[in-house]
Amino acid sequence: MRSIVIGLGETGQPLYEILKGAYPETYGYDKGHGDCLTKCDFDILNICIPYSKDFIEIVTRYADFFNPEITIIHSTVPIGTTSQIPNAVHSPIRGQHSRMKSDLQNYVKWVGGELSDFASEYLRDAGFKVMAVATSEQTEAMKLLCLAKYGKDIAFAFYCADIAKHYSFDFGYADILEWDGEYNQHVEERLKRPIISVGDERVIGGHCVVQNTKILNEQHPNPMLTEILKYEKGDKNYKAWGICNIYPSAVIGDGTNIGWFSEIGNNVKIGSNCRIGAFAYIPEGVTIEDNCFIAPKCTFTNDKYPPSGKKDWLPTLVKRGARIGAGSTIICGVTIGENTLVGAGSVVTKDIPDYEVWAGVPATFMRGKNGN
């Protein structure tokens, strides 16, 4: 059985070592490390690289290069990713990084997808405990939900610690944790509470919990998930002035400024070096690219026929360098072109091509790139 592991990081390296012990013809590859990457056929392609927007394209290129009978995705990915890759199954990694190799051998290795029986036999013969399910969507969801549940428990532990500090009693094992520990001694297993001790720093570290909770929240938004995202580690490289309501799941680029009393909704994407004026309303479904100017009191919408309960929600795209004048309203489902100008007080109801000036209610063409 010839197999290769792509990605020799904190999860890929221990997986490679286990597989190599069972299958001598197992090879590993990582950027600048591992075995030489030469074109040849492999029976099994194991993927252990972090998820990115190009993940499917990258994995597909590896599959075309190595021509495997089956590709096993061990990475944590959005629900529905694996099914877009030919002859692929999903088998998420579980365990703590500090003891990953032993955890891999002790946890059940779940496998989801049409070829899960084939993958299960391969993993079982390598010494893994295996559980097969029919679809990769199930294993993708279980891994994301597992990380989100852990994040929720940490976020609530932060909340408990803040309550304890406010009333000057101990959060530690003398008080709140002691209460929960004693409670756990008298209830059945399914009702026991997690015991999580936290310090003074209000961040969730590592590169799994928050990052993958973002993935889940983008697909299936939930207020509980946004609470987890509030504790993301790292400095924000944008400036929000005064009182603003910026959802933790919003992605905002470097150098962007946001004016007073603006609302930036769930999963909104704003690029770098943008200016968002005061009292702007930008709800979920809006993407604003780099170097855009959104003047004060601009209102974006996301529901074509409100309130539709998301049934009639449509995405809106503002392309690079666009400028939207004060008090304008952007009806959802439109694209505002690159380096366009929308006059103040306009109501945009249709797509605007690149480099044009539009204004009015509804907004109409005024002039083009050459002033015509």
Give yes or no: residues 263 and 338 share one domain: yes
Looking at the domain assignment, is residue 282 inside a domain? Answer: yes
Looking at the domain assignment, is residue 310 inside a domain? Answer: yes
Looking at the domain assignment, is residue 140 inside a domain? Answer: no
- Total count of domains within the chain: 3
Out of 214-218, 294-298, 341-345, 357-361, least confident range: 214-218
Give yes or no: residues 30 and 154 share one domain: no
Give yes or no: residues 243 and 270 share one domain: yes
Give yes or no: residues 122 and 29 share one domain: yes
Q: What is the pLDDT of residue 234?
A: 67
CATH code for the domain of 58: 3.40.50.720
Report d(CA 171, CA 143) in Å as an integer: 30
Report d(CA 78, CA 217) in Å as an integer: 10
Q: What is the pLDDT of residue 175?
A: 77
Looking at the domain assignment, is residue 139 inside a domain? Answer: no
Token digits for 56?
Answer: 């499917």
Q: Give the structural domain span for 171.
A: 146-229
Looking at the domain assignment, is residue 141 inside a domain? Answer: no
Q: What is the pLDDT of residue 324?
A: 98
Q: What is the pLDDT of residue 235?
A: 62
Cis ω before 362 (30° cut-off from 0): yes
Looking at the domain assignment, is residue 69 inside a domain? Answer: yes
Give yes or no: residues 243 and 366 share one domain: yes
Q: What is the pTM of this model?
A: 0.71
Residue-wise pLDDT for 22-51, tens only, equals 999 999 998 765 555 677 889 999 999 999
Q: What is the pLDDT of residue 361?
A: 96
Residue listed under structure tokens 């306009």? 346
Three-class DSSP labels, the chain: CCEEEECCCCCHHHHHHHHHHHCCCEEEEECCEECCCCCCCCCEEEECCCCCCCHHHHHHHHHHHHCCCEEEECCCCCCCCHHHCCCEEECCCCCCHHHHHHHHHHCEEEEECCCHHHHHHHHHHCCCEEEEECCHHHHHHHHHHHHHHHHHHHHHHHHHHHHHHHCCCCCCCCCHHHHHHHHHCCCCHHHCCCCCCCCCCCCECCCCHHHHHHHHHHHCCCHHHHHHHCCECCCCCCEECCCCEECCCCEECCCCEECCCCEECCCCEECCCCEECCCCEECCCEEECCCCEECCCCEECCECCCCCCCCCECCEEECCCCEECCCCEECCCCEECCCCEECCCCEECCCECCCCEEECCCCEEEECCCCC
Predicted confidence band of residue 171 (pLDDT cuts 50, 70, 90): low
Residue-wise pLDDT for 192-248, tens only, equals 999 988 888 888 887 789 999 999 998 998 888 988 888 887 666 788 888 888 988
Q: Is the pLDDT of residue 174 over 70?
A: no
Out of 77-86, 234-243, 262-271, 322-331, least confident range: 234-243
Predicted confidence band of residue 177 (pLDDT cuts 50, 70, 90): confident
Q: What is the pLDDT of residue 55?
A: 96
Give yes or no: residues 214 and 297 share one domain: no
Predicted confidence band of residue 371 (pLDDT cuts 50, 70, 90): low
CATH code for the domain of 223: 1.10.1040
Give yes or no: residues 274 and 358 share one domain: yes
Report d(CA 50, CA 37) in Å as an integer: 19
Q: Give the end of a domain, one of 113, 134, 155.
A: 134
Give yes or no: residues 200 and 246 share one domain: no
Looking at the domain assignment, is residue 272 inside a domain? Answer: yes
Nearest to 12 by CA among 72, 89, 79: 72
Q: What is the mean pLDDT of residues 315-332?
A: 97
Q: What does residue 151 show for φ and ψ, rounded to 5 degrees?
A: -60, -40
Looking at the domain assignment, is residue 191 inside a domain? Answer: yes
Give yes or no: residues 66 and 124 share one domain: yes
Is pLDDT larger for residue 177 or for residue 84?
Answer: 84
Q: What is the mean pLDDT of residues 345-368?
A: 96
Give yes or no: residues 90 and 164 share one domain: no
CA dihedral of 294, 283, 261, 335, whole degrees rounded to 10: 10
Q: Is the pLDDT of residue 338 over 90?
A: yes
Q: What is the mean pLDDT of residues 62-84?
A: 97
Q: Are strands 357-359 and 323-324 parallel, antiparallel or unpaired?
A: unpaired
Give yes or no: residues 265 and 219 share one domain: no
Q: Is the pLDDT of residue 328 over 80?
A: yes
Q: Give the end of a domain, one of 134, 169, 201.
A: 134
Complete edge-to-edge strand list for the sheet that includes strand 263-264? 245-246, 263-264, 281-282, 299-300, 329-330, 347-348
Report d(CA 206, CA 97) in Å as an integer: 10
Give yes or no: residues 222 and 242 share one domain: no
The C-alpha angle 75, 77, 80, rounded to 5 degrees, equals 130
Q: Give the end of a domain, one of 185, 208, 229.
A: 229
Q: What is the mean pLDDT of residues 174-189?
A: 88
Residue-wise pLDDT for 98-118, tens only, equals 899 999 999 999 999 999 999
